[in-house]
Amino acid sequence: MQQHHEFLLIHGSWHTGACWRHVEAVLQANGHKTHAITLPGHGDGATDVSLEKYVQAIVDYVDAAALDKFVLVGHSAGGTIVCKAAEKLGDTIARLVLISPLLAKDGEALTQAVPPAYADLFAQMAAANDNNQIMVPWEVWRDSFIGDASEEVARAAFDELCPEPFGPLTEAVDLSKFAQLPIAKSYIRCMEDVVFPVGEFGLFPRMYEQIAPCRLVNVQGSHELMYSNPDALADALIKAGRA
Amino acid sequence: MQQHHEFLLIHGSWHTGACWRHVEAVLQANGHKTHAITLPGHGDGATDVSLEKYVQAIVDYVDAAALDKFVLVGHSAGGTIVCKAAEKLGDTIARLVLISPLLAKDGEALTQAVPPAYADLFAQMAAANDNNQIMVPWEVWRDSFIGDASEEVARAAFDELCPEPFGPLTEAVDLSKFAQLPIAKSYIRCMEDVVFPVGEFGLFPRMYEQIAPCRLVNVQGSHELMYSNPDALADALIKAGRA
Amino acid sequence: MQQHHEFLLIHGSWHTGACWRHVEAVLQANGHKTHAITLPGHGDGATDVSLEKYVQAIVDYVDAAALDKFVLVGHSAGGTIVCKAAEKLGDTIARLVLISPLLAKDGEALTQAVPPAYADLFAQMAAANDNNQIMVPWEVWRDSFIGDASEEVARAAFDELCPEPFGPLTEAVDLSKFAQLPIAKSYIRCMEDVVFPVGEFGLFPRMYEQIAPCRLVNVQGSHELMYSNPDALADALIKAGRA
């Protein structure tokens, strides 16, 4: 007998909560409840954002919706944000699920978790516009983020992206409490994820090692399965989310 | 035309020969013959066991059943045991198949092949009971051993486990003859196996490198496919076992 | 709507253009155009070959067939050859696709890209015959090259192989222009490829890192998917080749 879960889905850089709609449809069709929020500064024009405001947006939503024993899901840079949120939410969370997460080390910033050349590029991009924002270029998006999709799907997803506030990515994150939390964790590995080149700076297994021991769920496809293969991602979420 | 093989299946720590029953059913339904034995000290209460007694149990079974040109399969710590048995069985074995094996290096003990923190934990566990036995805790079993199963399957499999004699895991193993054996080998990699955290101490590719060159067969799933997906493991065994 | 592409397929060591025939049939059945040539010295008895002659054979074919905006595919050692050819062909190529490639570093020879023990073995083999040729032994072919095939398929494919001229593998390759080419690239990773033992000298991710950033397409199976699973390889080529 399949268990039914309640998922709260937190997006990563350049995305909004709308990125999950295809995955939510599949999860709901399988009897699960889903929630997705958009973090401040993502599509709303706000520029005075911070990691603390990201985390507070999650906590506020959980309180308002009175969620309990739910599965908290973070994608990419959203992975660090849900880890930080877990410090405040504690055992309200049934399990934490990280999809191809970008995880800051305790006391470090997210920019320290990306390959140095990328961090430099981001800093240059942010400095070059008035809003301290960064954006992923199409060529990088096409082959490194969503190489498993058709060009049409890749283009349509790209058109949904929004500029990302750079500030929060440069904030040192205190994750000392999180490291002590006795919270069950699952890691969804997207097997064709090459957001960072596989090898020294590849997401896997570098990020997995930071959070192990935790359940590992593999799924074929790129970093952007919510667009390229929402059925496969929903299936992985169900396996990752169960008790 | 598919070849039919005869498999002798050797379990790993905490298991008995009964762990293979679902896999055996699939193999037999596909026309293959199967055998599975339980190593001494696994469920029979015996505590005066050793690597030599494990190996002798295999040799005795092969002699009694007059097996010839069979596929010898070892799972996890059973991998080291079948390598040692191969030294005595020689070309009676058609091919050696190792499933997510834990392989001691020549002259070292199995405890030297596990992450140091795990070896320490095992030693403390063994010292804490009268029978020098160790047992895998439920939380570790659930997410690190069998994360791909439903909670029900994971729980039922856990209820079948038995305490493991710690002594044999601490014996130095002489594998100098094995290294010279011209025996065909296959390695079944369980893609979601995180018994040891992926990375420096992960089973793959660390164990594969010790035994290469050998055939590699990938199968999705955890360390405990005999419970979580016996069909997939049987399929992998057929591919791994053929000439 | 699926795009249709035109593929030019370049084989690796010991193969001829005929190795692609099963893959070509699948690609053509899906509406794609295909071309495959045999490099000089592969089955024709020629021994005065060089990397330059390999590259020229590709350029000559492209000119004669007036190919434009085609997908240039290189397998194994053919990967280095298509990279070098790309320097001459420029934006006539729509995308470069590398299947389990063996890539020389700029200024180095292919023999420097293989594990040192293999390079020594090749040199000894070449010195031991009048034609400075090398050949892959059956046992290595069976388990390290094509472990995913039945014995019958493995044997039939082996019977099609031809001795490989060793000279070109020892030539230093100038790839300085290639490194500057703004050409779209895809890398097809064969998940069970153990031509070189996984780990320090494994093809992946070592070769991927040399060519990143580029699209990654995973496909189950060995180095020799054109024989063991041409349907899967054709599917991967379609995903790898699209814009």
Count other C-beta atoms under 10 Å from residue C121's C-beta. 15
- Whether A103 has a pLDDT exceeding 90, the answer reads yes
Element (DSSP H or E) covering residue A87: helix A78-89
- Whether B200 has a pLDDT exceeding 90, the answer reads no
Q: What is the ipTM of this complex?
A: 0.95
Alpha-carbon gap, residue B166 to B126, rounded angstroms: 6
Report residue A190: phi and psi, to 5°: -90, 115
Segment A205-232 shows an average pLDDT of: 97
- Whether A231 has a pLDDT exceeding 70, the answer reads yes
Residue C243 contacts A, CB cutoff 8 Å: yes
Tens digits of per-residue pLDDT, A139-192? Answer: 999 999 999 999 999 999 999 999 999 999 999 999 999 999 999 999 999 999
Alpha-carbon gap, residue B92 to A94, rounded angstroms: 52
Find tokens 């590259």 and name the residue.
Answer: C55
Alpha-carbon gap, residue C77 to C89, rounded angstroms: 19
How high is the pLDDT of residue B197? 86
Find tokens 């469920």 and name the residue.
Answer: B43
AA identity, residue C10: I
Q: Which of B144, B151, B192 is opposite residue A242, by nearest beta carbon?
A: B151
Tens digits of per-residue pLDDT, A50-85? Answer: 999 999 999 999 999 999 999 999 999 999 999 999
Lowest-confidence pick of B99-103, B221-225, C41-45, C99-103: C41-45
Report residue C98: phi and psi, to 5°: -115, 120
Residue B205 contacts C, CB cutoff 8 Å: yes
Percent of chain A scoring above 70 in pLDDT: 99
How high is the pLDDT of residue C204? 96
Cα angle for residues A135, A204, C204 (degrees, 5° grid): 105
**Minimal-distance CA residue of chain B relative to C220:** B218
How high is the pLDDT of residue B122? 95
Residue A218 contacts C, CB cutoff 8 Å: no
Alpha-carbon gap, residue B47 to B164, rounded angstroms: 9
In this structure, are strands B185-190 and B215-219 parallel, antiparallel, or unpaired?
parallel
Give the pLDDT band of residue B231 (cuts 50, 70, 90). very high
Alpha-carbon gap, residue B137 to B147, rounded angstroms: 14
Report residue B51: phi and psi, to 5°: -60, -40
Helix (H, G, I), strand (E, B) or coil at A194: coil
- Bridge partners (DSSP) of residue C36 are C9
Q: Is the CA virtual torsion B128, B131, B133, B138 positive or negative?
A: negative
Give the pLDDT band of residue C2 (cuts 50, 70, 90). low
Segment C155-171 shows an average pLDDT of: 97
Whether C199 and B214 lie within 8 Å, measured CB to CB: no
Residue B150 contacts A, CB cutoff 8 Å: yes
- Bridge partners (DSSP) of residue C93 are C70
Quote the radius of gyration of chain A (alpha carbons, Å): 17
Q: Look at residues C198, B146, B204 and name the one whose alpha carbon lies nearest to residue A205.
A: B204
* A240 contact partners, CB below 8 Å, separation of at least 6: A71, A95, A97, A186, A187, A188, A215, A217
- Whether B238 has a pLDDT exceeding 60, the answer reads yes
Alpha-carbon gap, residue A118 to A108, rounded angstroms: 16
Report residue C181: phi and psi, to 5°: -70, 130
**Minimal-distance CA residue of chain B relative to C143:** B215
Alpha-carbon gap, residue C198 to C191, rounded angstroms: 10
Do you know the residue count of chain A? 243
- Whether C180 has a pLDDT exceeding 70, the answer reads yes
Alpha-carbon gap, residue A202 to A190, rounded angstroms: 12
Phi-psi region of C171 (alpha: psi -120 to 50; beta: other; left: phi over 0): beta
Give the pLDDT band of residue A132 (cuts 50, 70, 90). very high
Report chain B residues whose CB lies below 8 A from the CB of C151: 3, 242-243
Verify cis geometry, omega within 30 degrees of 0, for the bond prior to B205: yes
- Return the top range by mean pLDDT from A16-30, A117-131, B198-212: A16-30
CATH topology of domain B6-241: Rossmann fold (3.40.50)
How high is the pLDDT of residue A2? 66
Tens digits of per-residue pLDDT, B131-168? Answer: 999 999 999 999 999 999 999 999 999 999 999 999 99
Write out the two tokens for B165. 């004699």
**Minimal-distance CA residue of chain B relative to A208:** B198
Domain boundaries in chain C?
6-241
Q: How many cross-chain Cβ pairs, A to B, lie less than 8 Å apart?
A: 51
- Whether B1 has a pLDDT exceeding 70, the answer reads no
Q: What is the mean pLDDT of chain C?
A: 96
Chain C contact partners (≥3 CB pairs within 8 A) = A, B
Of A1 and A214, the structure prediction assigns the larger pLDDT to A214
Residue A156 contacts C, CB cutoff 8 Å: no
d(CA B209, nearest CA chain C) in Å:
7
**Minimal-distance CA residue of chain C relative to B189:** C192
Determine which of A216, A237, A239 to mutate to test the interface with B (most B C-beta atoms within 10 Å): A216
- Convert A44-71 into a string of H (helix), E (strand) and C (coil): CCCCCCCHHHHHHHHHHHHHHHCCCCEE
How high is the pLDDT of residue C104? 98
Do you know the residue count of chain B? 243
Give the pLDDT band of residue B26 (cuts 50, 70, 90). very high
Find tokens 């995955």 and name the residue.
Answer: A23
Give the pLDDT band of residue B199 (cuts 50, 70, 90). confident
Lowest-confidence pick of B230-234, C31-35, C197-201: C197-201
Burial string for C230-240 (b: 16+ CB within 10 Å, else e) reads bebbbbbbbbb
How high is the pLDDT of residue C173? 98
Phi-psi region of A127 (alpha: psi -120 to 50; beta: other; left: phi over 0): alpha
Q: Which of A150, A192, A198 is opposite residue C242, by nearest beta carbon?
A: A150
Alpha-carbon gap, residue C25 to B236, rounded angstroms: 28
